[in-house]
A and B are shown apart, each in its own frame.
Chain A
């Protein structure tokens, strides 16, 4: 893949750093990047679940992709209140809307830790999530650790997570973006690729496969994925999926996706 990781114009709306932070950052530091676009109404629940993690050493990077609903104000107000939970907490804002892939890449570029937890602003994580994923990923050759999900809000259920298996990935994505990613792996594959219609996470796992990077499945319910009928409707329009299947198969010829 010839993807390269670009940085785009951003402004820093909020920045906090522990003043007495030692020169050596702790080896168990995890960066949590929250990508935010017009999800202001869900944001506080999301951020509270990050603050409630049992894993002690966290930095928080919120990337607002130029929201129009005032999301960045909700984020800034929350950070003022809760910054003390983190060794570092920042709120970055794209000057122009760039899309989800760039929002995540911006977060990775700002991250100090070797391990980055990827979280969308409408989702929630259980308190043990990062600690368990960190235990599975740190000190291994895996590029990503991911858990089983609970789907909530309008469609209660379980996710589709299963053991890492390229043959399974070839038939469709079953690993959500909400995962702990090793920064070296993200770097090696050139980060998230801007996809016109979505499936950025699926594309990232496919690039992992092509680079010989594997993932590890943590078979516990640790993360909550919000499903709302409006977002589902947006996802399943047939022409859009047809285009996605075509794009993905062109990018990764080993995929065996069926047209919708």
Chain B
């Protein structure tokens, strides 16, 4: 997913003032933010992290001992840890002579250390089968009696108020699934009171929710232990490690990525394969343009285009890409700049400055902008941000498909529903322009595009249909 920067802290402590005043590189700032994050956790008392700090203390109550035991047990089974990489990545570990795994279990995980190199993570993730196994899409066993029991409990869906704006959208779509079952669910954020959190609490994007501002006040281990976490981040990014202790000690994980789901299941955390749906307005292909300044710079044909009444071949944009900066993406666009320059395209390449890639308080237009443009593009392009070939399942792939675009991606790890050549097109990055040229310019490519596009729309029903996903979600919440 798009990565976010923590928002500037409101607290004007000495360190933070220095942080703001110094002319630092983004990398330096990241290190300092991490440090500040730990400082704020330390001040919070009963956090997951403090379990470690209190290890030596004789007084550890039974619940704490239990939580720590669970964490250690699940970490021991965590399949992405690699001892050799870990020692290579952390010179102090190698120098200490300590067993890398022991170091990770007792220190590293709490210090948010990288547990393996990206290429190792990719190889391990790739080893997980994409077969549709029964555990992936269990038959819903939802009965009226179960539903009634669930309806008697309050459900809170939490998302950070200043997090990545797509996370807010994902939270809203989760809420829509719950409400479709008449469940009493409400959307909340980190500014509410942790002590008054509902019996069923679901935290969307824990890697950012628990990391910033008042979100750090929600890391109480008892709260985590009875909460569901909706994991939306990939392993192998700077966000992959920080949320791990929370994820491994929570009540259950909703996971939108197949390989990640396998990882969590291997550790023994109850896990549901779940990805979000669509707002009603997507299905109706809305005409109303979102209120966003990017629209003014697009060809008039984009604004004049009537999506429901038109055919794919008449879409005014050849290619749409919206995504955050990364060296791999930048190298791709620089290499193929002439290809893009020759065609109507929309490239919204977002530089991550010091300001957060944050949701605006009310009615953020950017998710709607993404949908609107996906309805006007022939091709929606998915390029991995880093070397882990994470499938950008929601924002790019599913949204692209749902809005009638053809998805073109660089090589992805397998997905249980969407297959290359059937539901989307896949090529290595260097061959993507050639593939797109074939799709856009040749009769054969256009025919194939229409076939793949129809398959994709059909695939959004079946096991991935909203009623089926929602029923499994309700089952999971009541059963875990």
Contact = CB atoms under 8 A, between A and B. Distances in A.
A219 B23 contact: no
A148 B296 CA distance: 15
Contacts of B23: 258-260
For this complex, into which size category does the number of interface residues on chain B fall?
Answer: 20 to 34
B297 A217 contact: yes
A222 B341 CA distance: 5
Interface string B324-344: 010000110111011011101
Interface in B332-370: 333-335, 337-338, 340-342, 344-351, 353-354
A38 interface: no
B345 A158 contact: no
A136 B296 contact: yes
A73 B346 CA distance: 40
A141 to B, nearest CB: 10
A220 B296 contact: no
B347 A220 contact: yes
Given A151-B334, A156-B331, A157-B334, A163 B342 contact: no
Contact of B337 (A127, A163, A221): A221
* Max chain B Cβ within 10 angstroms of own Cβ: one of A152, A218, A221, A260: A221
Contact of A158 (B298, B333, B353): B333
Contacts of A216: 293, 296-297
Interface in A204-260: 216-222, 224, 258-260
B337 to A, nearest CB: 4
Nearest to B338: A126
A67 B296 CA distance: 39
Contact of B293 (A145, A157, A164, A258): A164
A54 to B, nearest CB: 10
Q: Pick the most buried of A140, A148, A156: most chain B CB atoms within 10 A of its CB.
A: A148
B149 interface: no
B294 A217 contact: yes
Given A127-B342, A219-B346, A150 B294 contact: no
B345 A220 contact: yes
Contacts of B333: 150, 158, 221
A239 B297 CA distance: 37
Contacts of A157: 330-331, 334
B334 A135 contact: no
A128 interface: yes
A258 B346 CA distance: 32
A132 interface: yes
B392 to A, nearest CB: 19
A219 B335 CA distance: 18
A136 B297 contact: yes
Interface in A162-176: 162-165, 168, 171, 174
Contacts of A162: 350-351
Contacts of A136: 296-297
B75 to A, nearest CB: 40
Interface string B124-150: 000000000000000000000000000
Decide if the interface of chain A is mainly helix, strand, loop or mixed.
mixed
A160 interface: yes
A148 B300 CA distance: 18
B299 interface: yes
Contacts of B347: 148, 219-221
Contacts of A258: 23
Contact of A128 (B300, B342, B350): B342
Contact of A171 (B293, B341, B349, B353): B353
Contacts of A151: 334
B353 A156 contact: no
A152 B335 CA distance: 9
Contacts of B298: 218-219
Interface in B271-303: 293-294, 296-300
A163 B294 contact: yes
Which among A163, A219, A260 has the greatest number of chain B C-beta atoms within 10 A? A219
Interface string A72-89: 000000000000000000
Q: Which of A162, A171, A259 has the most CB of B within 10 A?
A: A162
B18 to A, nearest CB: 13
Contacts of B344: 220
Contacts of A165: 293
Contacts of A220: 340-341, 344-347
Contacts of A160: 351
B299 A148 contact: no
Given A126-B342, A171-B353, A140 B296 contact: yes
Contacts of B335: 156
B348 A219 contact: yes
B349 A145 contact: no
Given A148-B347, A148-B349, A221 B297 contact: no
Contacts of A129: 341
Contact of B299 (A135, A140, A164, A222): A135
A216 B350 CA distance: 16
Contacts of A126: 337-338, 341-342
Nearest to A156: B334
Give the top 8 A-B pairs by smallest Cβ distance, nearest first.
A126-B341, A150-B337, A156-B334, A218-B297, A163-B293, A258-B23, A217-B297, A216-B297
26 contacts: A128-B341, A150-B337, A150-B341, A151-B334, A152-B334, A156-B334, A157-B334, A158-B330, A163-B294, A165-B293, A171-B354, A174-B351, A216-B296, A216-B297, A217-B297, A218-B297, A219-B297, A219-B298, A219-B346, A219-B347, A220-B340, A221-B337, A221-B340, A222-B341, A224-B337, A259-B23
